[in-house]
Structure 1
């Protein structure tokens, strides 16, 4: 994509003075409006999920802890990425500094990579829990969980800081109202593909294990069923939700590189398509909290209690009653 738009590059610090692109104003207004809607939804939903996780002790499982970290990435994105992107779409020019333009360009791939590494850790955790259940309780502890989460954050961030610290690592493209990276794309690709392969492989072997377990049960009857450690229906539903979560992240990212690659091959400008599909990058962040509630009854009930005030005010009333009874 850089080959197509490199002629429009500017590395000056006075980006607000650049001319507006010759792009349809309705298209940029549409993209900005969708960005605002997705950002508001993501802020509300992910804040809600983090709050119920903190207030409800029964929700503090290993998987939910990783989902909370996923929600944190989905909170950072609307605050630092979507809001500024929407501003540039509405005003049809980049109004922040060039330094923030470079940071803005680095933030989204970094957050996407962190999200994919977190989903990979969740997939590996589910694989060990279901396929190697005898080892799960030894491996599933606070230390290993903390190390896994730290790696998911530190590894992509460290590599991206190194890449974007190089001179001329980004260029400003007025037609796209954004900066584009000029660094080696192979590192980005590796950081996206590696966790995706781990996730796909983990879920493949999990469902293969489930299928073989069912075949053994059907072949040998109740005797094997009583000794079989096949996952329950609830665990299978959770697996389907986690697969949907992973696919949602991937499908939200793919429209831009796929459509741009096709248009470049056809020799056409990707500008309009880039602006039109840019909001798809942030769809997952707004839908994920809904998926959390759909897949888990306890999360749904916690949402309800928190939104109606029962979780906070009910707990406060109980605390006051306990203090009064202990005093008397």
Structure 2
């Protein structure tokens, strides 16, 4: 076991599954990724597996999704990376084909593949069309698929391997901010993180705090300040949003009576679904969410930071919730 960055850990998971199963192949839009550790270990999918099992695909998201579905129906397991989180590209084929065909055919048609949505985050610099967040909520409306949202290198690798082995199509949401997090201890061997199982990162009795993907970075900064305010937080990292681990979520809110959800997605984001589930099945609970405002992401870093649901905003919301 060694400390590994997110960029190495998830790719290590792909490489290990490609070594273990000759039917696993990789489609990369324009390039096939490589990753290196400071100690010299290198992962180079194209060099190791050749251009039969690794495909440099054009900038055509519809084509790449369709290729993946067709390859799955022919018996292969594709891991397909699209360096954008704009959700409408390829969505028609995921909705009408990938998410439905296996069930429509009684299991005769296999449409299982992993679609990696890479790169989006609101960090300042890119213009609004490249500052997209919250796309996982749009995909969550599609029946027959699963969605994972890793928050660090450890669950990044474990969720990738679990996604490759899963019988359903899996959307693997890879935010660039998560990719920039500090390296963490990651086992060298293959392992899985269960899809549909949330992680309780911290136990508490006063307030349930829920986040996923880049919002976990803000929560990590807020937790020490919330503790100084005397609030005992139970912090849950969802890890998967479809299926949603309602058992863990409901048990926590029944204990604390309060739910605060932090999300980088804007209006109509997945936080609304989390709150609606809790409001329905844990009656009497007090709920609140903090998100980016309903506005395109500006290129200005200063404006992005002002909009961000950051640690001071999380602390303020937690303190106010304790007065309810």
* TM-score > 0.5 by shorter chain: no
Q: Which category of TM-score, normalised to the shorter sequence, fits these structures?
A: under 0.3
TM-score by structure 2 length?
0.25
TM-score by structure 1 length?
0.25
- Compare the two structures and name the one with the higher helix fraction: 1
- Compare the two structures and name the one with the higher strand fraction: 2
Task: Give the number of the structure whose alpha-carbon radius of gyration is greater.
Answer: 1
Does 1 or 2 have the higher relative contact order (CA < 8 Å, sep 6+)? 1
